Amino acid sequence: MVRETRSPRLRRSGRRNRCRSGIRAGQHLRSVGQNAVLPGVTLALKNTKTGLARAEVTDDRGRYHFIALPVVGEYSLTIELAGFASEERAGLVFQANSKPVIDFTLKLASLAEATTVHGAAPILETRKAELSLTVDQQKIETMPLNGRNYLDLANFANGVHGAATRGDLSVNGQLGRNIDYVVDGVSNKVIEWGDASKTGLSLDVVQEFQVITSQFSAEFGHSLGGIVSAVTKSGTNEFHGTGYIYDRPGRFDAKNALTGTVTPFNQQQFGTVVSGPLVRNRTHFIGSYEGTNQDSQLVVTSVVQPGAFPATLNRHQAFSKATHRLADNHNAQLRFNLDHNENIGQFGGLVLPDGGTKGKRASWELQGTTTSVLSAKTVNEARFQYSRFVNESTNLAPGPRVIYTGFATFGANNGSPQDIRENRMQFNDKLSRDFGAHRTFAGVDVSHIAKTGVFNADAVGVYTFAAGTPYPFDARNPATFPTQFTQGFTDPRRPISLHRDFAPFDFAGIDRSYVNLDLFAQDDWEVRRGFTLNLGARYEKQTSSPDNNNIMPRTGFAWDIGKDGRTVVRGGFGRTRKICSASPVISRLRSRPAATPVCSRPFQRCSRRSRRDSARPSAAPSRWISARWIRRRARRRSATSSRSASRASLPPTSHSRSITRICEGAICSAPST
């Protein structure tokens, strides 16, 4: 993310001069007497931890602006002008995506010696319309988080709720799939999995965490709810090392209120972080590892098989990052991190142990950034990433799935097995320019996304019994019959992409790639001191969609009522859109029409669509699916289902907790009596 420090103007008042610094372009200090702005003031900014140095000179209205400052480390800002005593502000710590304003007062050299003031930059944003929460490094290090998941920090923001087990947060009521996750300025979201961040980070490598809940700038997109962003740490001129272990012994756990027994939860989290210089003031590094071992028990409350049953989680996270100063005005960084975990679970409550799944999730990411100061007023930031994500899920028991509403659920999970893989190549470039009262930026973001995956089309079959249905199933007693049976089948007209054989059923898959192209530009115009307009626009194009009308305005204002940075009124208007994932399309294409037969009463025959109808070619374009085509196909499915319904019965039981079908496909034939 980008840090910016901007200096306002210097004004002369009798024997004293004021120098206002900040991110505000064209801001004036109004005062009585003969106060005046001071042009030609030299400002020197230096990072005391990494050695980074920048210099600026105020313009004819006393303004200055430092663009795209790294957030790692502390800064000192020195102001000098002939005839005046120099002043230094030390201990400045800037936040990502912020625009602080810093005020100075210069005295005549005959009246004062040089002074040094220690203090942080202002926290209240007075130049942006967006609403956000920023958690800095100090708070991250001191805040106790159960599980050490950095995404849980988002719950401190207004309008955000939800558990961050895999990033399934809700912002302003929007689903998790409508949120964009960003790390170091590039995407960290899994498109196909929808509501998840891709690669986890250890808390010890997060420099800063931010949640933007409203009115984000044109730089951000692909989100209807908000932006969840993190900036990772970098090494400094000092060597640092940290080692830790957090142990939660299960023997101290109390009895479960429902079962009256102890359900131990054993968890160990351990890791280390090492950072320092490779070449002082030029090249630095940081590396970390974190492991998590979790042995727990999940409580099943169903009377069919009550008790506590084991569940496990093993996770490994590694992180490395190198930063290098290529030249005085050119800096680069390269980051690599991976996240691998395996787990057994997805049962408990009314779901019996054999209804759980075994999951494996692995991801890694290679990311690089270059920041170039092209001139005193122009900075360019270029970023790239290549990442890979894999999510696998298999069942702990064979099918079918059996659901006794309000009583018990067992058998294979109807949403598993799955095998999802996503590769992403991304490049973005942002050019920022300071024109005094106008601070502008423009950029482009291009991503190539390749997906392959296998989705279970409810192929295991799902029997649903109404609440109060007698248990167990008895083929001779209609009162024990299910009210519904559903099952999906592979559409032969769709390509199948299998990474392994999930016998005995076939599964619909995806195998596609596309490009996301984003263009954006914005002007932050300080109309007058204390009042700023944010005027921007963004265009997004996804090649897998025929929609081209995706111009999204981003407008807003920030009004500093007292011009003292204490009370700010914000407002704005914007249009956003979410990226189109393949899941909604696959849910319609992965099964044949009428491939989800429903047995609504005993002895009803449930059959597939006829062979003649199945062979009918699809009218859908090969690269995209229109809403009109989906509606037409849904009507055709409904009509076909009505024609093919006939009388049938249900298969017998094989034991008290599973049902075996005696027919192939979706044909439910009555057994002889």
Does residue 99 share a domain with residue 192? no
What's the pLDDT score for residue 183? 93
Does residue 50 share a domain with residue 94? yes
What's the pLDDT score for residue 342? 94
Average pLDDT, stretch 581-589?
A: 53
Output b/e per residue, 614-652; b: 16+ Cβ within 10 A. Answer: beeeeebeeebbeeeeeeebeebbeebbeebbeebbbbe
Q: Evaluate whether 235 touches 277 at the Cβ level (below 8 Å).
A: yes
Does residue 147 share a domain with residue 196? yes
Q: Is 91 left (phi over 0), alpha (psi -120 to 50) or beta?
A: left
Identify whether 199 is part of a domain: yes
Q: What are 613-636's pLDDT values in tens digits?
A: 333 333 333 333 444 544 555 555
Does residue 189 share a domain with residue 154? yes
Does residue 135 share a domain with residue 103? no
Does residue 178 share a domain with residue 142? yes
Of the candidates 572, 577, 527, 578, the residue with the CA atom closest to the CA atom of residue 554: 572
Binned at pLDDT 50, 70 and 90, residue 167 comes out as: low
What's the pLDDT score for residue 434? 87
Question: What is the token pair recorded at 456?
Answer: 């279970």
Q: Evaluate whether 58 touches 32 at the Cβ level (below 8 Å).
A: no
C-alpha to C-alpha distance for 47 and 54, rounded to whole angstroms: 9
Of the candidates 383, 122, 441, the residue with the CA atom closest to the CA atom of residue 232: 383
> Where does a domain end: 207, 232, 257?
232
Does residue 90 share a domain with residue 38? yes
Provide CB contacts within 8 A for 555, sequence distance 6+.
Answer: 533, 534, 535, 536, 572, 573, 574
What's the pLDDT score for residue 625? 40
Of the candidates 183, 288, 274, 286, the residue with the CA atom closest to the CA atom of residue 234: 286
Binned at pLDDT 50, 70 and 90, residue 365 comes out as: very high
**Higher per-residue confidence, 591 vs 276:** 276
C-alpha to C-alpha distance for 553 and 535, rounded to whole angstroms: 8
Of the candidates 37, 17, 5, the residue with the CA atom closest to the CA atom of residue 529: 37
Alpha helical stretches, state H, 536-626: 583-589, 611-614
Beta strands in 73-205 (DSSP E): 75-80, 87-92, 101-107, 115-118, 131-135, 160-161, 170-171, 179-183, 186-187
What is the residue-averaged pLDDT of the chain? 75
Identify whether 335 is part of a domain: no
In whole angstroms, how far apart are CA 86 and each of 41, 53, 80, 110, 209?
A: 10, 18, 5, 12, 35
C-alpha to C-alpha distance for 203 and 208, rounded to whole angstroms: 10
Domain extent for 137 = 131-232
Identify whether 84 is part of a domain: yes
The answer to which of 31-45, 142-156, 365-379, 557-571 has the lowest mean pLDDT is 31-45
Q: Does the pLDDT at position 330 exceed 80?
A: yes
Average pLDDT, stretch 592-606?
A: 37
Identify whether 82 is part of a domain: yes
Identify whether 8 is part of a domain: yes
Q: Evaluate whether 176 touches 154 at the Cβ level (below 8 Å).
A: no
The answer to which of 190-194, 435-439, 655-659 has the lowest mean pLDDT is 655-659
Q: Does the pLDDT at position 497 exceed 50?
A: no
What's the pLDDT score for residue 169? 83
Identify whether 68 is part of a domain: yes
**Higher per-residue confidence, 114 vs 364:** 364
Identify whether 309 is part of a domain: no
What's the pLDDT score for residue 47? 81
Query: What is the three-class DSSP state of 342?
Result: strand
In the chain, % of residues over pLDDT 70: 70
Q: Does the pLDDT at position 582 exceed 80?
A: no
Cβ of 233: how many Cβ atoms within 10 Å? Answer: 21
Q: What are 658-672's pLDDT values in tens digits?
A: 333 322 333 332 233
The answer, as to whether pTM is greater than 0.85, is no
C-alpha to C-alpha distance for 268 and 614, rounded to whole angstroms: 54
Does residue 97 share a domain with residue 74? yes
Give the helix/strand (H/E) hosting 632.
helix 627-644
Tracing tokens 């307009």 back to the chain, one arrives at: 533
> Where does a domain end: 118, 153, 177?
118
Output b/e per residue, 100-127; b: 16+ Cβ within 10 A. Answer: bbbbbbbbeeeebeeeeeeeebbeebbb
Q: Evaluate whether 393 touches 421 at the Cβ level (below 8 Å).
A: no
Does residue 85 share a domain with residue 57? yes
> Where does a domain end: 118, 144, 159?
118
C-alpha to C-alpha distance for 197 and 220, rounded to whole angstroms: 16
What's the pLDDT score for residue 441? 95
Burial (Cβ within 10 Å: 0-12, 13-18, ≥19) of residue 331: buried
- Our measurement of the distance from residue 142's CA atom to the centroid of its chain's CA atoms, rounded to an integer in Å, reads 23
What's the pLDDT score for residue 166? 53
What's the pLDDT score for residue 81? 74
Of the candidates 290, 242, 289, 252, the residue with the CA atom closest to the CA atom of residue 268: 290
Give the helix/strand (H/E) hosting 268.
strand 266-279
Does residue 143 share a domain with residue 105? no
Identify whether 138 is part of a domain: yes
What's the pLDDT score for residue 623? 35
C-alpha to C-alpha distance for 633 and 621, rounded to whole angstroms: 13
What's the pLDDT score for residue 285? 96
C-alpha to C-alpha distance for 569 and 177, rounded to whole angstroms: 30
Binned at pLDDT 50, 70 and 90, residue 113 comes out as: low
Does residue 75 share a domain with residue 147? no
3-state SS track over 434-499: ECCCEEEEEEEEEEEEEEEEEECCCCCCEEEECCCCCCCCCCCCHHHCCCEEECCCECCCCCCCCC
Query: What CATH number is given to the structural domain containing 188?
Result: 2.170.130.10
Average pLDDT, stretch 142-150?
A: 86
* Total number of domains constituting the chain: 2
Does residue 56 share a domain with residue 98? yes
Average pLDDT, stretch 204-224?
A: 91
Q: Which residues on neighbouring strands pair with residue 227, listed in sequence order?
A: 180, 212
Query: What is the three-class DSSP state of 587?
Result: helix
